[in-house]
Amino acid sequence: MTAEYLRVAIEVAREAGAVLAERFAHGSVFTDAKGEFDIVTEADRLAERIVLDHIRVMFPSHGVVAEESGGYRGSSSMYRWHVDPLDGTKNFARGYPAFSVSLALEREGEMVVGVVFDPIRAELFAAEHGGGAWRNHERVRVSSVDRLEQCLLTTGFPSAARHRHLDVPSLHHVAMRTQGVRRTGSSALDLSYVACGRLDAFWDIGLSSWDVAAGLVLVAEGGGTYSDLRGRRFAFTSPDLLASNPNVHELFVTAFSDVLAAR
């Protein structure tokens, strides 16, 4: 049955992504403030409406957790979708071509489907539990590097919700021990790039489920691993996240522990 969920998620992500690409190409983006630093666009709301309308029709008993509307509780406690209709809103609003649609399905507490679609590059990252991770029609895996100095990292640092815990020490610490740190502005894309080996590790703090749910399915099915920065089991309530290939995961946990001990 997960294959059917995956098929629908792919179709919905492509449809929502096409709308985002069309709005982005026209360059006319209407924005509203969402807190002191964050914004929401008309495209966010439109893409989310497309996704939620499809889920309501195809899987009426399923619940949804969504960034803009908050989602809704379904009649079934078994299934819950985590939806970010536009991950990378600030990029989108400024004409910076790095954003994505992210959908994931949770079944009885286990993430079983994850889809991230980049409409600008026409790259679809998709995974289902036990089925591996794919980029378009190509099977992908995490990188195989095994030393910190070989690693290229990515992070979401900083964002509005995390200004109280600005992670400058961690950024400096790992940047000096690796090939460097990148920042796309889309956690879903960051995790997709770890899953396909373009990047070796991702970390961030203060994330929501819709930011990372799909990407974590991709990382796991691509042979990667994830935890919090202390190496403990990650949950959506965890304060931080580290995802990487398994060869370097413990090395990063050790590297971050030095900084965390000093907080």
Q: At 250, which CATH number? A: 3.40.190.80
The pLDDT score that the predictor gives to residue 74 is: 84
Task: Please check whether residues 8 and 136 belong to one and the same domain.
Answer: yes
Residue 161 scores a pLDDT above 60:
no
Query: Is the same domain home to 37 and 92?
Result: yes
CA–CA dist 16, 47 (Å, integer): 5
Greater pLDDT, 77 or 132: 132
How confident is residue 167, by pLDDT bands cut at 50, 70 and 90?
low
Do 94 and 171 share a domain, yes or no? no
Q: Are residues 181 and 133 part of one domain?
A: no
Is the pLDDT at 261 greater than 70? The verdict is: no
Percent of the chain whose predicted confidence (pLDDT) is above 70: 87
Query: 188-234, pLDDT tens digit by residue?
Result: 999 999 999 999 999 998 899 999 999 999 999 999 999 999 999 99
- Looking at per-residue pLDDT, the higher value among 67 and 18 belongs to 18
Average pLDDT of the residues of the chain: 89
Tell me: do 161 and 214 sit in the same domain. Answer: yes
Enclosing H/E stretch for 41: strand 38-41
Q: How many CB atoms lie within 10 A of CB 250?
A: 13
Q: Are residues 136 and 157 in the same domain?
A: no
Query: Do residues 110 and 166 share a domain?
Result: no
What was the pLDDT predicted at 31? 52
- Residue 238's domain comprises 148-261
Residue 1 burial (CB count, 10 A): 7
Please indicate, yes or no, whether residues 15 and 122 belong to a single structural domain of this protein. Answer: yes
pLDDT (mean) for 109-131: 97
Which CATH number fits the domain that encloses residue 129?
3.30.540.10
Average confidence (pLDDT) over 25-48: 66
Residues 168, 93: one domain? no
Q: Which of 106-110, 119-123, 159-163 has the lowest mean pLDDT?
A: 159-163
Q: How far is CA 64 from CA 2, 42, 55, 186, in A?
A: 17, 20, 8, 21
In this predicted structure, what is the pLDDT of residue 196? Answer: 98
Do both 41 and 62 map to the same domain? yes
pLDDT value, residue 36:
45
pLDDT tens, 128-138? 999 999 999 99
- CB of 87 within 8 A of CB of 52? no
Give the whole-number percent of the chain exceeding pLDDT 90.
Answer: 71
| In the predicted structure, residue 90 carries a pLDDT above the cut 70 | yes
Domain boundary among 85, 110, 140: 140
Among 116, 140, 164, residue at a domain's last position: 140
Whether the CB-CB separation of 89 and 69 falls below 8 Å is answered with no
User: Does 27 share its domain with 92?
Assistant: yes
Query: Looking at 123, 140, 157, which one is the last position of a domain?
Result: 140
Q: For residues 146 and 247, give the distance between their C-alpha atoms in angstroms, rounded to a whole number.
A: 5
88 and 52 together in one domain:
yes
Give the number of domains in the chain.
2
